[in-house]
Amino acid sequence: MEFDRPYGPEERLSYAVDDRRRSSPPLSRATITLTQRLGRAPRPSELAEELDVDTSEVIEALGAMESNRAVSLDAPTPDGETPLSERLGDDDPGIETASTRGELREQINALPERERRILLLRFYRNRTQTEIAADVDVSQMHVSRLLSRTIGRLRAELNG
């Protein structure tokens, strides 16, 4: 026995909400009648009284009716913000570098321990070559050479 029916590729609505949507003609008629009688839009409690149902049912039916209404992406937002169409669909500036970052991570992990440590100290901990030299127990000049050689190898592997 199926309890849900599909209404779109991914969207499913329960029978209860679907029943509220189908019962919306009496709700719509009651809304029109009360609007004319009161001279304003009726409250959910007034609609519930008119239809002799619980207020929560009216609220649920109103929500079901609203969920079926399409809104333009260019429509102004209630809070005055930029329309949705202007906030969606921008290119992600980091998308092109995402695969490069993954490849770089693999290349760094494949480096010998000393070269990887020097590289990480320099670029992830912002240590100077002199500080790295003291830490690794080599000269600053040797750290400079190792960094140049390692960066050159990484660049060649990524570009080649």
- Average pLDDT value for residue range 54-60: 87
* Element containing residue 39 per DSSP (H, E): none
Tell me the pLDDT band of 11, cut-offs 50, 70 and 90: very low
CATH 1.10.10.10 fits 4-70, yes or no: yes
- Indicate whether 20 pLDDT > 70: no
Report the Cα–Cα distance between both ends of the chain, in Å, rounded: 58
- Do 4-70 and 97-159 share a fold? yes
Fold of the domain spanning 97-159: Arc Repressor Mutant, subunit A (1.10.10)
For the chain, domain boundaries: 4-70, 97-159
Query: How many other β-carbons are positioned within 10 Å of the β-carbon of residue 34?
Result: 19
Top mean pLDDT of 37-41, 67-71, 134-138 is at 134-138
Residue 81's contacts (CB-CB under 8 Å, 6 or more residues apart) are none
